[in-house]
Structure 1
Amino acid sequence: MNELQLLKETRKTDQPVPTETLDRGLAQLMSAIEKGTPRASIPQRWLFSRRSLLTIAATAALIIGPVAVNIALPEAPTGASAEAAEFLGNAAVATINTADPLVGEGQYLKTDIKALYGNSLALPDGEQATWLATQDSQLYIPADRSEEWVWNREEEVPVTFFSEAAREAAEEVTASSSPFGQVVRAAGGAFYGSGQLFLDQPLHEAMRDAPRDPQELLSLIYTKTEGQGWSPEHHALTTIADFLRTGAVPADLRSALYHATALIEGVEIVEKGATIDGRSGTAIGIQTPDGGGRQDIIIDVETGMMIGERSTVLKPTPQYPAGTVTSWTAIETSVVNAAP
């Protein structure tokens, strides 16, 4: 595999990564390349977790996952702001009163996923070429969620460039990479031979078994994600957003997740009337500990359904100006009679 194909197969990020981390990861990757690392050892781009950095230096691509921060878990979190807690409580009630789509035998729950991701490419002169690209996909989940799921992944389309060098780099990546659109099938959603997990369980099992008690659910999230992400609180909200983004979380668990979110310290309402892909809702979010970025979930006020999520850079970075929405995902569900 050449470096451009490797770039195409990796996920994105919206947060800066220290130079020393990049250098260390690049050295490890180059060593692996020299030893003939097989393709199977390269991380796949996952449907529900997409926080990693893609970088090329000279002739190699670097894969970096979320920056692990070893921060002690909060012993007695004060919870979200009063306004956010009230809104999340109302959303929890609304989502219980909103009937889940009824999927009959032979039918599928279809989740239309429209997404935008950030790409950062290290050029030979040391400059960063950064652009945003969209990618649409459709996830088909059978009535029996242990059976075969189908995921139709469309091609990425570069749409926003932060320099002329970034435009040229994006065009080169697109032209040099093999087509990425594909239909993937897997029992229980275990795409690419490794199951999509929530709290260490396959998704269809987690939807059934995850605690419905909000405090128990949040404690489990903190325990299972300890040491990951920017902080326990930020990563907890990111984990919840990743799970809700499937569009398949049942109403009682959605309600518990909203109540659990209200227990996360630092969560607040960041925008009323937030619009994503033409649909409006209220955005609740949490900042990274350094105030450099924010993760949001956008919830429909009337139905309590999550309609999307987004990540925003609040302070300028070498890749993005302050205020840039570096990624977003919009979801919409329906019931269909067939899958590709």
Structure 2
Amino acid sequence: MAKVQASVTSAPQRKPTVTPIWFRRRALFASAAAALLVGGIVIADVVRPGGPGTTAEAAEVLNNAAAATIQTSDPVVGPGQYLKIATRSVFGTGGQAADVSDVRWEETTNSQMYVPADRADVWVWNREPRLILDSPSEEAKALPDEVRKAQEAESDGQPEFVGILRSPGGVFYGSEPTVIVGTPLREAASLPRDPRALLDLIYERTKGAGKSPDGEAFTAIADGLRTGVVPADLRAALYKAAALIPGVTVTDRHAMIDDRTGIAIGIASDGVTGANIVIDPASGLVIGVQSVLLKDYPGYPAGTVTTWTSLRTSVVDFAP
């Protein structure tokens, strides 16, 4: 789901050399309408995909999650109320100081999406600024701004927006929220509930994307599940569809995301990183997403959770 990249720029007169380390970010609603998926550098005891019997184990977990999610009532959002979808993301980045030493730290960003009872009404999206969680040395304090500038130069040269956005129907930046590629949220009822038919449609929609058809299909399902707004019957169908994808495994039965523990289901998306969704087995709800390195990367051993984002939903009476 997230791919490690590195870019090195150097400056004369022993100024800090920025070596930004960041990860491909996916939109929470599979469109520009949601918080960017970024994550944090933590070390976890992760079982990497490929072991015998793990696919069958994952199928059992996903089918159990489908059964649990049908038993879990969807939040009831009354007139004038909002479904609040709060995300907390932590991600690692770094650079090279003037003394050529590597410096790394963690940053975090939070966002809240307020979805009205009538989804055609105005959605509210509050995007908070990125904050540094850890700066290991005095010399490192100057590096974050330089890393951000390097990242902006690699993108469109614009800083990330911070503040409150409002848009009818959640059409932020010209894109409306989607369930899977090609199907907007407002048309979720049109998707098949039969797992095989749903998976075939997802394969068709993601054909030619990425390095692995199975990895792209799993990622498309994860993108839908983590919106927090997919109705229970469709969530169940998405779980069962994921259980049919070859190579999907249980990667961690005790995955921790933002002080909550769930079962991580994942796939080796590109041979470098594994994309995981973390499910609460009791409710069948997604509590977060993460990416795990499958191979050693300079400064990060295999098994490092490179990205994670937590997801919490609740019903509230007002939006900012």
Which residue, out of 71, 83, 87, partners 2:57?
83
Q: What is the letter of the counterpart of residue 83 of structure 1?
A: E
| Partner Cα distance (1:50, 1:330) in 2 | 12
Deviates more, 1:195-204 or 1:167-176: 167-176
Which of 195, 198, 205 is the matching residue for 1:217? Answer: 198
Higher RCO (Cα < 8 Å, 6 or more apart): 2
How far apart, in 2, do the equivalents of 1:222 and 1:128 lie?
A: 42
SS class of match (2:251): strand
1:242 to partner: Cα distance:
1.7
Equivalent of 1:207 in 188, 210, 224: 188
What is the DSSP-based 3-state SS (H/G/I as helix, E as strand, rest coil) of the residue aligned with 1:193? coil
2:85 aligned with 1:111 = yes
Q: C-alpha displacement at 1:165, in angstroms? A: 7.8
1:316 pairs with one of 284, 290, 296: 296
Contact 2:82 2:318 in 1 (8 A): yes
Letter in 1 for 2:254: G
Q: CA deviation at 1:230?
A: 3.1
* Partner AA of 1:152 in structure 2: N
Structure 1 225/118 Cα, relative in aligned 2: closer, same or farther at 3 Å? farther
**Runs of 5+ in structure 1 lacking a partner?**
1-12, 23-44, 53-78
Q: Which moved more, 1:194-203 or 1:95-104?
A: 194-203
Is 1:248 aligned with 2:229? yes
Is the contact between residue 146 and residue 204 of structure 1 (CA under 8 Å) also seen in structure 2? no
CA distance in structure 2 between the aligned counterparts of 1:215 and 1:286, rounded to whole angstroms: 19
Matched, 1:274 2:260: no
Secondary structure of the residue that 1:81 maps to in structure 2? helix
Q: Percent identity?
A: 45
- Counterpart of 1:328 in 2: which secondary structure? strand
- Report the CA distance between 1:237 and its aligned residue: 1.7
Given that 1:286 and 1:295 are in contact with CA atoms closer than 8 Å, whether structure 2 keeps it comes out as: yes
Question: How big is the shift at 1:159?
Answer: 3.0
Match of 1:288 in 2: 269
1:216 shift after superposition: 1.3
The TM-score normalised by the length of structure 2 is 0.75
Aligned to 1:334: 314
Match of 1:197 in 2: 178
RMSD over aligned Cα atoms: 3.5
Deviation at 1:322, TM superposition (A): 2.8
Contact 2:214–2:246 (Cα < 8 Å) also in 1:
yes
Q: Can you give the 5+ residue segments of structure 2 that lack an aligned partner in the other structure?
A: 9-30, 39-52, 151-157
**TM-score, normalization: structure 1?**
0.71
Aligned residue pairs total 278
Structure 1 counterpart of 2:3: 15
Contact in 2 for aligned 1:281/1:299 (Cα 8 Å): yes
